[in-house]
Amino acid sequence: MSAVKNVIKDNYNMMLLRDFLRERIKDAGFSHAEISKTPTGTRVALHVTRPGIVIGRKGVGIRELTEKLNTEFGLKNPQISVIEIPKPELSPNVMCNRMASHIERGTAFRRATMWTMQQIMDSGAMGVQITISGKLRGDRSAFEKHTAGILPRAGHHADVIVDDDIAHVRTPMGLIGIRIRIAIKEKVIPEFELKKDESKEETSKQVSDEKAEKIKEETSKQVSDEKAEKIKEETSKQVSDEKAEKIKEETSKQVSDEKAGKIKEETSKQVSDEKAGKIKEETAEEKKPKSESEQIIIEEEKMKDLVTLEEEEEKMK
């Protein structure tokens, strides 16, 4: 039981220490303290919004804190470090202390609640819930809850994402309790995360580039083939047109030659027919019986011819 008692005693001392630090450095915007024991001493890391107030002039504030931690809480050789909080609006401890200070000054609890909730959501929180309870308006106690955004209430996400804190305020009407729960986006753990290898990306890019080049080459080949086919078709059409024209010309020439031959033949036939007609006419005229005077003249001419032939034969002898 001695070990269990020691654990309980240590936890109780840590609770008292945190309450003391919250009251002592309230003006500095205290959030939380990290305490770790080492062989050389005890390290205490204080997370605050304004470190200058904790340190004090020439480190006077840190010296006083170290003495009190050593004497009142029994920490051996405490070493205090001050860390500034980057986003104090996302710390429920800081916002509880701010809201408590507003209510202590006399601000209406609803106005303080709405102002605090708006500040938290503007800083980038996923969700927030503010619960205020106590003697708010009269002798009877009451409570109010105000929520904004998405705030998981149960399960693993509620344990991991959500941070909460409680603060108490003393008012003339009595004690008022403030509880703030904040869900932070940065703490969301994705269930599946896709890891991309640079080598695979490069190879995929190369493959895609090669495919694009192949497609371009194929398209260019197809276009060139289509162009060649079109050119062939056009040339074949031209050749066929030229051949048709030549054939037409040749056929027209042949037809004209045939026509000319036929015309020549016809003309020659006509001429020969005319000549034959004339010869026939002449022969017919020759064959016609002549008159007696004409026959006498013809016979005289024949006689003259015979006389001339006989004279020539005699001369030749």
pLDDT on residue 3: 82
- CB distance 168 to 100 below 8 Å: yes
Sign of CA pseudo-dihedral 239, 240, 246, 249: negative
How many of the other CB atoms lie within 10 Å of CB of 131? 17
Which superfamily does CATH assign the domain made up of 2-85 to? Answer: K homology (KH) domain (3.30.300.20)
Could you name the CATH architecture of 90-187? 2-Layer Sandwich (3.30)
pLDDT on residue 289: 46
pLDDT on residue 145: 94
How many of the other CB atoms lie within 10 Å of CB of 86? 8
- Could you tell me the residue ranges of all domains in the chain? 2-85, 90-187
Per-residue pLDDT of the chain (317 residues; tens, 9 = 90+): 578 888 888 788 888 888 888 888 888 888 888 888 888 888 888 888 888 888 888 888 888 888 888 888 878 888 888 888 888 889 898 999 899 999 988 899 999 999 999 999 999 899 999 999 998 888 888 999 999 999 988 888 888 889 999 999 988 888 999 999 999 888 777 665 556 666 666 767 777 788 888 888 887 787 777 777 887 777 667 766 777 777 777 766 775 677 766 766 776 676 566 666 666 665 555 544 445 666 777 777 777 777 677 777 776 75
Q: Mind giving me the DSSP string for the chain?
A: -HHHHHHHHHHHHHHHHHHHHHHHTTTTTEEEEEEEEETTEEEEEEEES-HHHHH-GGGHHHHHHHHHHHHTS--SSEEEEEEE-S-GGG-HHHHHHHHHHHHHTT--HHHHHHHHHHHHHHTT-SEEEEEEEESSSSSS-EEEEEEEE----SSHHHHHTEEEEEEEEEETTEEEEEEEEEE-GGGPPPS------HHHHHHHHHHHHHHHHHHHHHHHHHHHHHHHHHHHHHHHHHHHHHHHHHHHHHHHHHHHHHHHHHHHHHHHHHHHHHHHHHHHHHHHHHHSPPPHHHHHHHHHHHHHHHHHHHHHHHHH-
Same CATH topology for 2-85 and 90-187?
Answer: no
